[in-house]
Amino acid sequence: MHQLHWKDFATRIFESMGVTVGFPTPILFATLLLLLNIGFIFPALYFISFTERKITADLQARVGPNRVGLVGFFQGIFDTLKLFQKTKPNFQGDKKNRLKQGYFLLVIFSSVFAAHSAVSYGQGFQWLDTENAIFLSLFSLIFSNIAVYFSGVLSHKTSNIVSSGRAFAQTYVAILPVFFVVFSVAVNSSGFSWSQLYVSQSSSLWDWNIFSNPFILLSMPVYYISGLIFLGMKPFGSPYSQMDLKGGLEGQYSGNDLIIFKLTRSISYLTWLTIGTWLFFGGWSFPGLPYDGLDTFILYPLQTIIILGKTFFVALMLLFITTALPQLRSDQAAKLIWKVLIPISVLSLAGTAIFMNLKTMWGLD
Amino acid sequence: MKDSIFGSLYYYFASLIVGCKSIIRSVFAILPYFFSVSGGENRKEVTEQYPDPISSRTAEDLPSKTRGLLYNEIEKCIGCRDCEVVCPTKCISIETEVTGDNNKTWVSVFDIDMSRCIFCGLCVESCIPNSLVHSKKYEGAVYVTTDLITSFGRGRLSPEHRKKWISRQSSKSVKFDFEGGGF
């Protein structure tokens, strides 16, 4: 059942370039994922961050980036290059300690990319199609947060130790409602695997999980809000904020370390949103698109474009909402999780089960 | 009702709905800014140096979104107190009096303590008749802090004026006279 489509796809791509494929499969898949990242994901993430900077500047009656390139579009690239040539300050402790911190940065980077590669971006970029693929991704993100905690503790600065503790606590509260939401979607789709999620949502727009069951519609905001808390994104981002504001986690990095840390944060956010696209908006299914009989060279990139298109549409909507809200402390975020999101997610899990039973009883399937 | 389990459930969901409503309101408040990215009057502003009057730039050249000292056009003001409620630093104080006409209120005191104002612009956004605006004045330096309290109110109604007002209401031909104390 679990065919590895990406293997044929990768072989065909390399053969068309005149390369005989004799690599071990992990290297082949890593190359393919690198192509996906450079071709689709990094440019799109760059565009999203540019839009965010412009909109935030507009709300604060500033212009935002406007010097480098057309309307300041290349400002981000300029900032990145500037960070690369920055020398690291010495306040972070002795050399041995900095080595340890670098090790934990490597752990964060690799676990976030493990989470990223476990998610399906279309059949061409699909490493796993098992029942635990979603959980592999979620647990990798949790693991990256443990590394964030230890790197904060090792920085020997009180502000970093405290804020890493806050980030850790925030993450471990936010994971609870997510599991309830994932289980309720699995009840609705009768499975966790990407292929099962696609099959149950593919026939029409009204088969998408968000439309087929009112309780899934209820649990959708729970998933996205707890994702923002889990990753410490904008309204809940106080543990990660810059050092001069509250003593956040980003203050312990500088130079190219900061680039890697910021990249892992945006990649983990994208991973989260893509899982959301799979759970609620039907993956690569798109009403009215004839998938049968398409060549794999057109089909697989098309699936990727549809998934990323849906994901970035959701990202823009979230950007629009979160820009309007004030920042919350981590204890306020925890209160929101315990008092609102967990009850709603438990309710939606129970409701989904009852709804599916009633559907079967009345023969509506 | 409030102590029973149904009461607490009711208040739980009611507070949830209030929270959702406030999020929706804040989203719709930024909607005009969101679409002003592409062009229009709001896009003209640029960050600039302190605009001193010696250079060619004057206060009139400042961008349309400039948040200068607050100014209230008291003829337009209806005394609804929305600005007083929304102000995070509580720098606006309003006192109103009842007039003969039920649809109008007499705004006798409208004081803004500019030393406490943080120029967030929330009062201007919440003003229904658009009477409260940010002027383009930006120089507010004074020797005494109390000089920063700006009064826009019409002054308290004296008993004689109240009488005149009532007589004006009874016979519409009598013109209301603004002379005298308190104005």
- Phi and psi at A340, nearest 5°, equal -120, -55
CA distance A200 to A137: 21
CA distance A307 to chain B (A): 25
A104 contacts A154 by C-beta, under 8 angstroms: yes
CB < 8 Å to B23, chain A: 321, 324-325
Structure tokens of A195? 């292929």
Answer whether A332's CB lies under 8 Å from A291's CB.
no
The pLDDT of B103-132, averaged and rounded, is 90
Which pLDDT score is estimated for B182?
Answer: 39
Buried b (16+ CB within 10 A) or exposed e, A228-267: bbbbbbbbbbbbbbebeebbbbbbbbbeebbbbbbbbbbb
Cβ neighbours, 10 Å, residue B66 = 17
pTM: 0.73
Residue A16, token pair as written in the block: 């068309």
Q: What is the DSSP letter of B68?
A: -
- Residue B92 pLDDT level (bands cut at 50, 70, 90): very high
Which residues on A lie below 8 Å from B67 (Cβ)?
61
Helix (H, G, I), strand (E, B) or coil at B161: helix
State the amino acid at position A91 in one-letter form: F
Evaluate whether ipTM surpasses 0.85.
no
pLDDT score of B11 more than 50: yes
Measure A187 CA to nearest chain B CA, in Å. Answer: 26
Q: Is residue B36's pLDDT more than 60?
A: no
Yes or no, beta carbons of A323 and B45 under 8 Å apart: no
Q: Which chain B residue is nearest to residue A62, measuring alpha carbons? A: B47
A335 alpha carbon, distance to own chain's centre: 23
- Residues belonging to chain B with any Cβ–Cβ distance to chain A shorter than 8 Å: 16, 23, 26-27, 29-30, 33-34, 36-37, 42-43, 45-47, 63, 65-67
- For chain A, give the number of residues: 365
Structure tokens at A246: 């509250």
Give A55→chain B minimum CA distance, Å: 7
Cα–Cα distance measured from residue A227 to residue A311, given in angstroms and rounded to the nearest whole number:
14
Average pLDDT over residues B124-129: 90
Separation of alpha carbons A210 and A278, rounded Å: 11
Length of chain B: 183
Q: How far apart are CA B175 and CA B162, in angstroms?
A: 13
What residues of chain B lie within 8 A of the CB of A60, using their CB? Answer: none
| Alpha-carbon gap: B46 to the closest alpha carbon of chain A (Å) | 6
Of A55, A61, A323, the CB nearest to B45: A61
Mean per-residue pLDDT of chain B:
79
According to the model, what pLDDT value does residue A1 have?
39
Cβ burial of A80 (10 Å; 0-12, 13-18, 19+) is middle
H/E run at residue B109: strand B105-113
Residue A2 is predicted with a pLDDT of 47
Contacts of A58 in chain B (CB under 8 A): 33-34, 36-37, 42-43
**What does the H/E/C string look like for chain A?**
CCCCHHHHHHHHHHHHCCCCCCCCHHHHHHHHHHHHHHHHHHHHHHHHHHHHHHHHHHHCCCCCCCCCCHHHCCHHHHHHHHHHCCCCCCCCCCHHHHHHHHHHHHHHHHHHHHHHHHCCCCHHHCCCCCCCHHHHHHHHHHHHHHHHHHHHHHCCCHHHHHHHHHHHHHHHHHHHHHHHHHHHHHHHHCCCCHHHHHHHHCCCHHHCHHHHCHHHHHHHHHHHHHHHHHHCCHHHCHHHCCCCCCCCHHHHCCCHHHHHHHHHHHHHHHHHHHHHHHHHCCCCCCCCCCCCCCCHHHHHHHHHHHHHHHHHHHHHHHHHHHHCCCCCCHHHHHHHHHHHHHHHHHHHHHHHHHHHHHHHHCCCC
Among B23, B29, B33, beta carbon nearest to A58: B33
Nearest CB to A320; choose among B34, B46, B63: B34
CA distance A58 to chain B (A): 7
Q: Best residue in A60, A63, A222, A327 to probe B by mutation, most B CBs within 10 Å?
A: A63
Distance CA B56, CA B58 (A): 6
Q: Is residue B40 pLDDT above 60, yes or no?
A: no
Statement: residue B43 has pLDDT above 70:
no
| Pair A264, A112: CB distance under 8 Å | yes
Residues 6 or more apart from B113 whose CB is under 8 A from it? B91, B92, B93, B148, B149
Cβ neighbours of A61 in B, within 8 Å: 45, 63, 65-67
Along the 365 residues of chain A, how does pLDDT read in single tens digits? 345 666 677 777 777 766 666 656 677 777 888 888 888 888 888 888 888 888 788 777 677 888 888 878 888 888 888 888 876 665 555 666 677 778 888 999 999 988 998 898 888 888 778 888 889 899 999 899 888 888 888 777 777 888 888 888 888 899 999 999 999 999 999 888 888 998 888 888 888 999 999 999 999 999 999 999 999 888 888 888 765 455 677 777 777 888 888 899 999 999 999 999 999 998 888 887 777 777 878 888 888 899 999 999 999 889 888 887 888 888 899 999 999 999 999 999 999 999 999 988 887 76
Chain A hits for B30, Cβ within 8 Å:
59, 320, 323-324
Nearest chain A Cα distance for residue B23, angstroms: 7
Residue A361 amino acid letter: M
pLDDT for A291 equals: 75
Interacting residues of A212 by C-beta distance below 8 A, sequence separation 6+: A188, A201, A206
Question: What is the least distance, in Å, from the CA of A66 to any CA of chain B?
Answer: 10
Which H helix or E strand runs over B35?
helix B5-35
Which of the residues A58, A66, A327, A341 would you substitute to probe the B interface, choosing the one with the greatest number of B C-beta atoms within 10 Å?
A58
CA dihedral A122, A128, A134, A140 (to 10 degrees): -110
Residue B69 has pLDDT above 80, yes or no: yes
Across the interface, whether the CB atoms of A323 and B30 are under 8 A apart is answered yes
Does A54 contact B46 at a Cβ distance shorter than 8 Å? no
